């Protein structure tokens, strides 16, 4: 479940002499959106019936595009920080008609009692705002481009966005999300996988990248280090093509820059037919021996079993959509040499049979200044198979960015 969006119309008297929504009215629209949200949820008196008041302490707004009378603005609201007496709410306003991002804002509140002293946040308010996320695992539900995504967000600091591969979910980054303190770790389930919605249609590298950019907008993240594994690497490269200025570092893990060969394209169609006829379990059975190193399969039958059930639980539309998106993706060879000055790290499992070390070496050599890390004892999934070694290489890289 996620917190419902709120639609508000821009009225002429909120606009300046040039017909744009004026700056003061931006603030009042954000405020109205918050009250509307409470009206539809725990009630507009959720604070006063607890003898408290949410006093606004700080506001930061990014104005992105003009809005005009008659525009319907769609507001999304999430809590980005919750303390005992204070909380931070992030609000995003998009024009409903064309999804243009109009503004994003952060509001810091302190709950105060009648004497103006800080007082705990009312339980009913915290429960409502957390309905879309579990406090324990930091998972939020955020709607972007009409699709509701599950995203785990942990920590403060420079942001790193983890992009998983096919047909997986954010759980492959468990160890890295838990360990990389000092960084804001953002790990979504891509559309069609994990706990995110799986629409029947609407899959391409450019749509996955647009989802991620919209997610970063909602979370108020301008610049990010992208860390993509396999299909996640294809998406990272697409993100770079579209939104290069937002990328402050790049990790390409067990992935490749080349488009599919005709033979691989045919195998994507065959896999899609298998998924439709026999379900995700048939895909899981075929993939498992390819993605884990033989050593991992022998040493960690529990991990292999978990991975099998994760893949077998992927919705068929998500599998079919990802296969088509991979089949139709552009090659990124020409992009590689343009990547400098974006610091880049190429990572590969020593025993990766899907995107082997030779391919990773060639890719690193084609990116000016890129570093290469080969993870011993790992196949196609180093973050899972060799979590500590992978985390260490990521930590070193993130720290080197300053
Ligand atoms: C992945 O791990 O994301 C896929 O195996 C990549 C691919 O099939 O090209």
Write out pLDDT tens, residues 197-246: 999 999 999 999 999 999 999 898 999 999 999 999 999 999 999 999 99
Question: Does 80 contact ligand 1 (Cβ within 6 A)?
Answer: no
For 339-396, the pLDDT digits (tens) are 999 999 999 999 999 999 999 999 999 999 999 999 999 999 999 999 999 999 999 9
Confidence of residue 13 (pLDDT cuts 50, 70, 90): very high
Q: Three-class SS string for the chain?
A: CCCCCEEEECCHHHECCCCCECHHHHHHHHHHHHHHHHHHCCCCCCCHHHCCEEEEEEEEEEECCCCCCCCEEEEEEEEEEECCCEEEEEEEEEECCCCCEEEEEEEEEEEECCCCCECCCCHHHHHHHHHHEECCCCEEEEEECCEEEEEEEECCCCEEEEECCCCCCHHHHHHHHHHCCCCEEEEECCCCCCCCCCCCCCCCHHHHHHHHHHHHHHHCCCCEEEEEECHHHHHHHHHHHHHHHHEEEEEEECCCCCCCCHHHHHHHHHHHHHHHHHCHHHHHHHHHHHHCCHHHHHHCHHHHHHHHHHHHCCCHHHHHHHHHHHHCCCCCHHHHCCCCCCCEEEEEECCCCCCCHHHHHHHHHHCCCCEEEEECCCCCCHHHHCHHHHHHHHHHHHHHCC
**For atom 7 of ligand 1, which residue has the closest CA?**
231
Task: Output the CA 40–ligand 1 centroid distance in Å.
Answer: 43
Closest approach atom of ligand 1 to CA 381: 2
Q: Tell me what pLDDT residue 134 has.
A: 42
Q: Tell me what pLDDT residue 83 has.
A: 82
For residues 99 and 395, the model is more confident at: 395
Question: How many Cβ atoms from other residues are within 10 Å of residue 182's Cβ?
Answer: 12
- The token pair at 387 is 């979590």
Which residues are within 8 A (CB) of 240 and not within 5 positions of it... i.e. 6 or more apart? 226, 247, 250, 335, 339, 342
Closest approach atom of ligand 1 to CA 232: 3
Task: Output the CA 14–ligand 1 centroid distance in Å.
Answer: 50
Task: Output the CA 15–ligand 1 centroid distance in Å.
Answer: 50
The maximal CA–CA distance of the chain, rounded, in angstroms, is 73
Q: Tell me what pLDDT residue 359 has.
A: 97
Residue 136 has pLDDT above 90, yes or no: no
- The token pair at 238 is 């697409």
Question: Does 165 contact ligand 1 (Cβ within 6 A)?
Answer: yes
Q: What is the spatial distance between Cα 39 and Cα 325, in angstroms, rounded to a whole number?
A: 41
Q: What is the spatial distance between Cα 391 and Cα 382, in angstroms, rounded to a whole number?
A: 9
Residue 135 has pLDDT above 50, yes or no: no
- Over residues 84-95, the mean pLDDT reads 90
Q: For residues 124, 129, 131 and 136, what is the CA-based torsion angle, rounded to 10 degrees?
A: -100
Mutate to test the pocket of ligand 1, among 168, 189, 230, 311 (most ligand atoms within 8 A of CB): 230
Q: Tell me what pLDDT residue 138 has.
A: 78
Residue 112 has pLDDT above 90, yes or no: yes
For 303-320, the pLDDT digits (tens) are 999 899 899 989 999 999
Q: Tell me what pLDDT residue 106 has.
A: 87
Residue 90 has pLDDT above 90, yes or no: no
Residue 113 has pLDDT above 90, yes or no: yes
Task: Output the CA 272–ligand 1 centroid distance in Å.
Answer: 14
Question: Does 355 contact ligand 1 (Cβ within 6 A)?
Answer: no
Q: Tell me what pLDDT residue 137 has.
A: 55
- The token pair at 333 is 């060879």
Confidence of residue 2 (pLDDT cuts 50, 70, 90): low
Closest by Cα among 221, 160, 215, 157 to 189: 215
Residue 131 has pLDDT above 90, yes or no: no
Q: What is the spatial distance between Cα 71 and Cα 122, in angstroms, rounded to a whole number?
A: 34
- Over residues 71-98, the mean pLDDT reads 88
Task: Output the CA 204–ligand 1 centroid distance in Å.
Answer: 14
Question: Does 203 contact ligand 1 (Cβ within 6 A)?
Answer: no
Work out the angle between the directed axes of helices 301-312 and 280-291 (0-180°, nearest 10).
140
Q: Tell me what pLDDT residue 1 has.
A: 45
Question: Does 208 contact ligand 1 (Cβ within 6 A)?
Answer: no
Question: Does 312 contact ligand 1 (Cβ within 6 A)?
Answer: no
Question: What share of the chain in percent tops pLDDT 70?
Answer: 98
- Over residues 271-275, the mean pLDDT reads 97
Q: Tell me what pLDDT residue 129 has.
A: 78
Mutate to test the pocket of ligand 1, among 237, 260, 326 (most ligand atoms within 8 A of CB): 326
Residue 329 has pLDDT above 90, yes or no: yes
Closest approach atom of ligand 1 to CA 165: 3
Closest approach atom of ligand 1 to CA 290: 5
Question: Does 354 contact ligand 1 (Cβ within 6 A)?
Answer: yes
Task: Output the CA 50–ligand 1 centroid distance in Å.
Answer: 52
């Amino acid at each position: 479940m996620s917190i419902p969006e709120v639609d508000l119309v821009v009225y002429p008297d909120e606009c300046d002499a040039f017909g744009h929504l004026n700056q003061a009215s931006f603030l009042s629209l954000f405020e109205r959106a918050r009250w509307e949200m409470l009206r539809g949820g725990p009630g507009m008196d959720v604070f006063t019936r607890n003898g408290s008041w949410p006093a606004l302490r700080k506001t930061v707004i990014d104005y992105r595009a003009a809005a005009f009378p008659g525009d319907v603005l769609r507001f999304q609201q999430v809590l980005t920080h919750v303390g005992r007496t204070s909380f931070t709410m992030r609000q995003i306003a998009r024009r409903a008609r064309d999804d243009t991002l109009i503004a994003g804002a952060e509001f810091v509140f302190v709950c105060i009692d009648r004497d103006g002293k800080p007082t705990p946040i009312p339980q009913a308010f915290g429960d409502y705002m957390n309905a879309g996320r579990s406090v324990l695992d930091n998972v939020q539900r955020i709607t972007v481009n009409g699709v509701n995504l599950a995203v785990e967000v942990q920590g403060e600091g420079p942001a790193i966005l983890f992009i998983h591969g096919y047909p997986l979910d954010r759980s492959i980054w468990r160890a890295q999300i838990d360990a990389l303190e000092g960084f804001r770790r953002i790990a979504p389930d891509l559309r069609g996988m994990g706990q995110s919605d799986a629409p029947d249609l609407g899959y391409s590298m450019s749509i996955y990248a647009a989802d991620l950019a919209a997610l970063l907008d909602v979370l108020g993240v301008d610049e990010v280090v992208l860390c993509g594994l396999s299909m996640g690497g294809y998406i990272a490269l697409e993100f770079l093509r579209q939104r290069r200025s937002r990328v402050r570092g790049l990790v390409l893990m067990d992935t490749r820059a080349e488009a599919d060969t005709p033979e691989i394209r045919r195998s994507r169609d065959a896999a899609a037919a298998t998924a439709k006829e026999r379900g995700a379990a048939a895909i899981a059975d075929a993939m498992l021996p390819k993605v884990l190193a033989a050593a991992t399969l022998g040493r960690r039958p529990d991990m292999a079993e978990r991975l099998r059930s994760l893949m077998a639980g992927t919705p068929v539309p998500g599998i079919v959509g990802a296969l088509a998106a991979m089949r139709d993706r552009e090659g990124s060879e020409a992009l590689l040499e343009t990547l400098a000055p974006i610091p880049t790290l190429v990572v590969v499992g020593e025993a990766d049979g899907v995107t082997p070390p030779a391919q990773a070496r060639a890719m690193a050599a084609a990116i000016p200044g890129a570093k290469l890390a080969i993870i011993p004892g790992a196949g196609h999934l180093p973050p899972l198979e060799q979590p500590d070694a992978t985390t260490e290489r990521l930590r070193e890289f993130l720290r080197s960015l300053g």
